[in-house]
Amino acid sequence: MPTPTAHHKMIANLTAHLMEVTQAFNDRATQIGLPVRLDETQTIEHLKNGLDLQHYVNFWKHTQGVMRVAYIRTAVDCIYRLWKNDRIYGHVSAAWESSRMTSSLALQWAGPALYLLTGKKILPLLLMNNSSKARQRAELELFHFFQYYGKLALRRTIEPDSQNRHLDLVFDTYPSLNSYRSQVLPSTENSFAIPGLDQIDDPLHVSDSVRRKLLHLYKQTIGKGYHPLLVIRQGDEQKKRPAIGNNTTPAILRIFSWIGAEFGPQNEDFRVIGFSPPALADKDLLHIWQVKQVRDITSPQPTGKT
- pLDDT per residue over 61-110, tens digit each? 778 888 999 899 999 999 999 999 889 999 998 756 666 778 889 999 99
Residue 54: inside a domain: yes
Q: How far apart are CA 24 and CA 70, in angstroms?
A: 8
Residue 297: inside a domain: no
Residues present in the chain in total? 306
Q: How far apart are CA 115 and CA 112, in angstroms?
A: 5
Residue 304: inside a domain: no
Query: Which of 16-20, 204-208, 260-264, 282-286 bottoms out in mean pLDDT, i.e. has the lowest?
Result: 204-208
Residue 306: inside a domain: no
Would the pLDDT of 197 be above 70? Answer: no
Domain of 83? 4-292
Q: How far apart are CA 104 and CA 79, in angstroms?
A: 12
Q: How far apart are CA 261 and CA 211, in angstroms?
A: 11
The pTM score is 0.86
pLDDT at 166: 81
* Residue 250 CA: distances (Å) to CA of 128, 243, 265, 285: 17, 8, 21, 12
Give mean pLDDT, residues 176-204: 74
pLDDT, tens digit (0-9, with 9 covering 90-100), for 259-301:
888 888 778 899 999 988 777 888 888 889 999 887 654 544 4
Structural contact between residues 165 and 115, judged by C-beta atoms closer than 8 angstroms? no
Question: Which of 153, 142, 147, 145 minimizes the C-alpha distance to 43?
Answer: 153
Would the pLDDT of 226 be above 80? Answer: yes
* Mean pLDDT estimate for the chain: 82
pLDDT at 208: 81
pLDDT at 161: 64
pLDDT at 212: 85
Residue 197: inside a domain: yes
Residue 217: inside a domain: yes
Residue 45: inside a domain: yes
pLDDT at 9: 84
Give mean pLDDT, residues 208-235: 86
Residue 300: inside a domain: no
Please state the domain count of the chain.
Answer: 1
pLDDT, tens digit (0-9, with 9 covering 90-100), for 235-261:
644 444 455 555 567 888 888 888 888
Q: How far apart are CA 100 and CA 82, in angstroms?
A: 18
pLDDT tier at 181, thresholds 50, 70, 90? very high
